[in-house]
Structure 1
Amino acid sequence: MNYYLIAGEASGDLHGSNLMKALKQHDSEAEFRYFGGDLMKAEGGTLKMHYSEMAFMGFIEVIANLGTVLKNIKLAKQDILENKPDVLILIDFPGFNLKIADFAKKQGIPVFYYISPKVWAWNQKRVLKIKKIVDRMFCILPFEVEFYRTWGMEVDYVGNPILDAIESNQPDSQFRLSNGLDERPLIALLPGSRRQELDRVLPEMLKTADRFPNCQFAIAGAPSFSEKDYQKYLGDKKIPVIVNATYNLLMNAEAAVVTSGTATLETALLKTPQVVVYKGNPISIGIARMLVNIKYISLVNLVMNDDVVKELIQEDCSGKKIGDELDLILHDQKYRAAMMQKYDKLAVRMGAPGASGRAAELMLKYLQGSAR
């Protein structure tokens, strides 16, 4: 079958690549065309656009780049129309993907949505639109099934693909040596994969380095950025930027500072104590605070509905407050142990690996008309 996938950011690229791998195992004639990234490209097929040209987050950021966004939407519609795929598989990225879903549905193309938009966070009535334009929804967070059911929509819960990615990761016993790291405690900095995250969050992360002279720091670099992109923030600080090895970085770290997103859940499942941070455009954040109806921003706390990790948002995202939290994680054993115990409960709630395979198998059954 011909599959057309759209992933608009780094996490979508990761999950898209694992889904593609699973689809190939179930469909020997699978062909792919997609908006995605380097990981999806490694699985074959045709990369139409890289997510680095698409990832804008926040109300003001989207408005500022509206011309580019509309151009990308037009390109996607045209390309889908020209290639007539057997199915369109959309991966999160709702602002873009829901518009494409509406278009594809009108063209008679089956629409599958893998990794639900966070409609439970704000404007829940969007579910009514989703029911009309999405044929099947494949969810990765356990509480989403009941949420959709309250709106009269049955969805498939397939588990979380992060577990697949972690299971397939190969631990590197030479990681420290090959990246110039010594045996001092390591603190991992995960600033994210969007330009505005580097601009606003990384400088605050870096302010903590001088406070912990007995530790060493390393940045998890995004493949979409160059070394020069990071160097302008580093100045004379000798902090390595390590690309394509985030899991091994976290596995070697005593603690991590993580920008809110999928990485917070990955960090927790890898059992690395963390502080979650986020800082956006003040106007965007102000609008979000009026609209969003959730208690937490990190996936770890959302899944557990508990204060598992500290969240430092906007004005609280400062070098001093990040450092205070790291100090607790590193030196208060009771505090650290409590976080790790909650991590164990999170792992149980998230279930077993295999989400990508389950999703691929269900997708094929639905396409072949054999799923009920």
Structure 2
Amino acid sequence: MRYYLVAGEASGDLHGANLMKALKAQDPHAEFRYFGGDKMRAEGGMLAKHYADMAFMGFTEVLLNLRTILRNLKTCKDDIQAYAPDVLILIDFPGFNLKIAGFGKESGIKVCYYISPKVWAWNQKRVIKIKKVVDRMFCILPFEVGFYKEWGMKVDYVGNPLLDEKASFVPDPAFCDQQGLSSAHQIIALLPGSRKQEIERLLPAMLSVTEQFPDQQFVIAAAPGFPVVYYQQFIGAKNVKLVFGKTYDLLNVATAAIVASGTATLETALFHVPQVVVYKGGAISIAIARMLVKIRFISLVNLIMDKEVVVELIQQDCNTLNITDNLSRLIEGPWREVMLENYADLSVVMGEPGASARTASLISDYLKSQS
């Protein structure tokens, strides 16, 4: 079978790589072409475009980069048409991928969507379009099944692929030595995200607290799409380390973390690292979001548990004073213990690994039933 996958950010690259691995186990003759990143490229096939050139966040940012987005859409459509895949597998990234799903449907290509768009958060009527352009939907959050059912759409809950990634992780015993990290200092992980806009908005706020913690070592989990010199402009003379491609090794040894809202909040929780969640967007984008978004929380940890497990510092609340205060409580003390207890409950709710294998099996069965 010929598979065309589209992932538009770092988390999608991770999940896409795991799915490709599982598909190869189901289909030894699998051929891949994709929009994705380095992790997918490591699984083989042909990378048509890297996600670093695609990810724009926020309403204002999308408008400002509309020409680039439209060009990427045309490139993707033309590439899909030229490749003529047996199935199109779209991974999250709804603003882009729902348009590609419509194109795929019009072109007579079977469309599978892995990791549901967060239509439950805002503009729920998008489900109407999804029902028309997506043949099979695979969800990774348990509550999504009930949501889609209310709209008359049957979906498959496959578990969460982050559990697969964590289960396959083998800690590097030489990590601290290789990175020049001393066992005498507690490590604070900084996860500012993988998009240029979020890094530039969040990393300065994260770094602004380092002087308040002279006994801790701060380490940035850097996104692979950016060079060292890019991060150095923010770090300056601060004693802060950079780690590329070793985020799980970093979380494995971290005492606490400051994390950009997104998939990384759930990864951090699965490693049982107490965290402060931060987010900043453009003023207009945030104002629009607050009018449209229908959820109480922004972090996956809180959304899944349906309560405040981790503190969320959004927009003006994301400042040096608030981050310092909350981080101090997580390094030691009762807040840390309560969060760790909630993380244990979260692990039970999340269940067992195997999402990628289950999704690959369902896709394989579906394609066989249609042949």
TM-score clears 0.5: yes
- Corresponding residue for residue 202 of structure 2: 201
- Corresponding residue for residue 323 of structure 1: 324
- Corresponding residue for residue 70 of structure 1: 70
Please list the CA deviations of residues 185-241 of structure 1 after superposition, one character each: whole Å capped at 9, or x if unmatched.
110000000111121100000011000111110000000011011000011112111
Secondary structure of 1:307's aligned partner: coil
- Corresponding residue for residue 357 of structure 2: 357
- Corresponding residue for residue 122 of structure 1: 122
Report how many residues are paired. 370
Q: How far 1:83 moved relative to its partner?
A: 1.4
- Corresponding residue for residue 221 of structure 2: 220
Secondary structure of 1:4's aligned partner: strand
Q: TM-score, normalised by structure 1?
A: 0.98
- Corresponding residue for residue 85 of structure 1: 85
- Corresponding residue for residue 4 of structure 2: 4
| AA at the equivalent of 2:27 | D
Please list the CA deviations of residues 296-317 of structure 1 after superposition, one character each: whole Å capped at 9, or x if unmatched.
0000000000110000000001
Distance 1:331 1:66 in 2: 46
Secondary structure of 1:56's aligned partner: coil
Residues 1:308 and 2:320 are matched in the alignment: no
Secondary structure of 1:217's aligned partner: strand
- Corresponding residue for residue 232 of structure 2: 231
4+ residue stretches of structure 1 with deviation over 2 A?
none
Distance 1:10 1:124 in 2: 25
Secondary structure of 2:240's aligned partner: coil
- Corresponding residue for residue 135 of structure 1: 135
Secondary structure of 1:241's aligned partner: strand
- Corresponding residue for residue 41 of structure 1: 41
Please list the CA deviations of residues 259-286 of structure 1 after superposition, one character each: whole Å capped at 9, or x if unmatched.
0000000000111000100001111111
Alignment of 1:2-41 (within 5 A): 2-41=2-41
| AA at the equivalent of 1:367 | L
Please list the CA deviations of residues 99-129 of structure 1 after superposition, one character each: whole Å capped at 9, or x if unmatched.
0000110111000000000000000010011
Q: How far 1:58 moved relative to its partner?
A: 0.5
Please list the CA deviations of residues 139-159 of structure 1 after superposition, one character each: whole Å capped at 9, or x if unmatched.
001110111001000000000
- Corresponding residue for residue 280 of structure 2: 279
- Corresponding residue for residue 163 of structure 1: 163
Q: How far 1:331 moved relative to its partner?
A: 2.8
Q: TM-score, normalised by structure 2?
A: 0.99
| AA at the equivalent of 1:280 | G
Q: How far 1:167 moved relative to its partner?
A: 0.8
Please list the CA deviations of residues 299-347 of structure 1 after superposition, one character each: whole Å capped at 9, or x if unmatched.
0000000110000000001111111000111132x21111111101111
- Corresponding residue for residue 178 of structure 1: 178
Q: How far 1:370 moved relative to its partner?
A: 7.9
Distance 1:327 1:83 in 2: 53
Distance 1:45 1:76 in 2: 16
Distance 2:70 2:318 in 1: 32
| AA at the equivalent of 2:152 | G
Unaligned runs of 5+ in 2: none
- Corresponding residue for residue 256 of structure 1: 257
Distance 1:158 1:169 in 2: 20
Distance 1:342 1:370 in 2: 44
Distance 2:152 2:254 in 1: 44
Please list the CA deviations of residues 44-71 of structure 1 after superposition, one character each: whole Å capped at 9, or x if unmatched.
0010000000000100111111000000
| AA at the equivalent of 1:225 | F
Distance 1:172 1:6 in 2: 31
Secondary structure of 1:201's aligned partner: helix
- Corresponding residue for residue 60 of structure 2: 60
Secondary structure of 1:103's aligned partner: helix
| AA at the equivalent of 1:136 | R
Please list the CA deviations of residues 56-90 of structure 1 after superposition, one character each: whole Å capped at 9, or x if unmatched.
01001111110000000001111111111000000
Distance 2:225 2:320 in 1: 25
Secondary structure of 1:256's aligned partner: strand
Please list the CA deviations of residues 17-57 of structure 1 after superposition, one character each: whole Å capped at 9, or x if unmatched.
00000000010000000000000000000100000000001
Secondary structure of 2:358's aligned partner: helix
Q: How far 1:95 moved relative to its partner?
A: 0.3
Unaligned runs of 5+ in 1: none
